[in-house]
Amino acid sequence: MLRRHLTFLSFFALCSTSFLAAQAKPDTAEFDVKEHYTKYEYRIPMRDGVHLFTAVYVPKDNSHTYPFLINRTPYSVGPYGVDQYRKQLGPSAEFDKAGYIFVFQDVRGRWMSEGTFTEMRPHIDIKKSNKDVDDASDMYDTIDWLLKNIPNNNGSAGIWGISYPGFFTSASIIDSHPALKAASPQAPMTNLFMGDDAYHGGAFMLNANFNFYSFFRLHENPMLPPKTPVPFDYGTKDAYEFYLKVGPIGNLSKMLDGNSALLDDQMQHDNYDDYWKARNLAPHMKNIHCAVLTVGGWFDAEDLQGPFSTFHAIDEYNSGIFNALVIGPWVHGGWSRYDGEHLGRVEFASNTGDFYRKQILFPFFEQYLKGNGNAKLPKAYVFETGTNVWRRYPAWPPKEAQKKTLYFHGDGTLSFEPPSGAHEYDEYVSDPARPVPFVDYRSLSVPQEYMVSDQRFASSRTDVLVYETPVLEEDVTIAGPISPRLFVSTSGTDSDWDVKLIDAYPNDYPDSKFDAPKPEEKDKPRTDVPPPSFTMAGYQQLVRGEPFRGKFRHSFEKPEPFTPGKVEEIRFDMQDVNHTFRRGHRIMVQIQSSWFPLTDRNPQTFVDIPSAKPSDFVKATERLYHTKEQPSGIVVGVIENPGS
């Protein structure tokens, strides 16, 4: 969901597509939407009698016809009123100038639409009556109505959206209307429990979820214009301090004054039960007859997994359609509003956002909605970080990526050679009262730059294991998912195992041209630079990190306790990367058992965590084994000579 990474007020603005318009590139100021478009507002009837509030912007030039470009959102289609106009209508300025009939719709139960809102409304495969409705049927009925009631349309429709609107894009194209010709789900949630917003590796994404649900609540009075939101008062500027004082996460509900229903759903369903299974969209991505361009960012702190899950599901169930994937060096939704030249101090050497908007997204919709040109897009258009180049692949993950294992060794080294020793392990004490932070500066939100944040602060802690290669003599390119295979034991009955893949820079690496914020800006919402000042020499850039809650090592549906001291194997998949570790750098892996407050604390006793008591949180001694019989490591896909 476009939801988890900023302070409240800036985040609320970011969730609205109108904010994306306001943050567009400077040349959009030259284009006056009101001069070129006429706005209409409708309540479009659905098959069950519910009416959905819909704003439609029609080009004033009626000398030719236009396709519909639809955006369905839970974040408000405002501003409301036929005389109140958005500053930008399409995904970028090119769309406004080219001419489309832009359609914005409040989804069921949100803002000015009738009906009841349901978090990630489950899809109904077999609809037995007009009362069986979902987002696919709402989209079908909307297109049907638009074709019959909006003049000067060319008979074609497209849909796009970012994050929660990205989910609505994916959900809306199932059993697609014949007039639906193109769709672009961007950062779509696909399965909230399996790597999207709610849970990663069975660990609850604490900070982001509470930050979001402190304002995203069920409407008491749908059909009324939106009110000015009131931010939650944390009483501090430090999330680490706030959540430690909260104690067990079950205490969070009482802080929302009776408005915690959506948060409670996320916290209380803490294994992969029927609540989550019904909301997994991937098995339902069928009968799609339009071209699909799924978009994501390598540094999306909210929904990095969703684009891959959506892309693969569409491939599996829908043959004969154009289905492509675009992944760039972007934060959540950053491709729509930033230049994408850097994140924090990590540089990408070009305006990747502008390239995507002009050379990828706009040509895609022009081709499939208007028949203009050929976008000539590959199956996978992905940015390779480290070398900072775009790669075009006929499949994702690339078929040329060879599976290899980076093994941990007793001397702290990391290599593609397996260990040969016996009875070797490394150990540390994990203390829930002193969890490992996920950034080394104060922040109330989940800073977007944490996805490339410097990890030197963590490597110096005694409760973090560090393994690294010698200085690389040649580039090493890793593409696709990362799969840890760990042999571990714990003195407790449950523990987390957080794995971080890191690019360790040389000690003579030059400083970035992107500096820290000025003193007067240090308390303002930050999305593109980290607060502390430091040099890039020896920088330890997070490339990918994921938690895994050990009790789910056999099943996410039926958690099991550890037997203290018993060695067990843990296997899991981390999210994809496409990164080159350059010659002169080192590949590093860090292992720890807390990542706070990015994820909730594991008590390290086998209990129902949302109902845990303070006394359930205990220290545990964690061991990681690296012997010939128990060779812990991470499996990666290595490309010997990346193509162009």
**Band (215; pLDDT cuts 50, 70, 90):** confident
Strand, coil or helix: what is 425?
strand
Closest CA to 196 of 600, 575, 580: 575
Indicate the pTM of the whole model.
0.93
Domains and CATH numbers, the chain: 8-190+281-393 (3.40.50.1820), 402-639 (2.60.120.260)
Distances in whole angstroms, Cα of residue 328 to Cα of each of 187, 245, 504: 12, 38, 21
Predicted confidence (pLDDT) at residue 29 exceeds the cutoff of 90: no
Contact 624, 632 (CB under 8 A): yes
Q: How far apart are CA 48 and CA 119, in angstroms?
A: 19
State the pLDDT at residue 219: 64
Q: How far apart are CA 160 and CA 489, in angstroms?
A: 46
Predicted confidence (pLDDT) at residue 644 exceeds the cutoff of 70: no
Query: Residue 250: how many CA atoms within 13 Å on its side-chain side?
Result: 13
Sequence-distant (6+) residues with CB within 8 A of 630 are: 487, 567, 569
**Nearest-5° Cα angle at 528, 524 to 533:** 75
Mean predicted confidence (pLDDT) in 164-191: 97
Q: How far apart are CA 143 and CA 129, in angstroms?
A: 20
At 319-344, the pLDDT tens digits run 999 999 999 999 999 999 889 999 99
Sequence-distant (6+) residues with CB within 8 A of 156 are: 67, 68, 179, 181, 182, 368, 369, 370
Bridge pairing between strands 414-415 and 402-408: antiparallel
**Band (227; pLDDT cuts 50, 70, 90):** low
Contact 128, 298 (CB under 8 A): no
Q: What percent of the chain is predicted at pLDDT more than 70? A: 90
**Band (258; pLDDT cuts 50, 70, 90):** confident
Q: How far apart are CA 208 and CA 524, in angstroms?
A: 18
**Band (399; pLDDT cuts 50, 70, 90):** very high
At 273-316, the pLDDT tens digits run 999 999 999 999 999 999 999 999 999 999 999 999 999 999 99
Please tell me whether the peptide bond between 397 and the residue prior to it is cis, using omega within 30 degrees of 0.
Answer: yes
For the chain, give the mean pLDDT.
91
Predicted confidence (pLDDT) at residue 405 exceeds the cutoff of 90: yes
Q: How far apart are CA 44 and CA 265, in angstroms?
A: 30
DSSP codes of every residue in 576-611 = EEEEEE-TT-EEEEEEES--BTTSPPP-SSSS-GGG
At 559-593, the pLDDT tens digits run 999 999 999 999 999 999 999 999 999 999 999 99
Q: How far apart are CA 11 and CA 215, in angstroms?
A: 10
Cβ neighbours of 312 (radius 10 Å): 17
Q: Which residue has the higher pLDDT, 130 or 14?
A: 130
At 110-166, the pLDDT tens digits run 999 999 999 999 999 999 999 999 999 999 999 999 999 999 999 999 999 999 999
At 438-494, the pLDDT tens digits run 999 999 999 989 999 999 999 999 999 999 999 999 999 999 999 999 999 999 999
State the pLDDT at residue 438: 97
Mean predicted confidence (pLDDT) in 6-22: 37
Mean predicted confidence (pLDDT) in 155-184: 98
Closest CA to 358 of 379, 342, 345, 373: 373
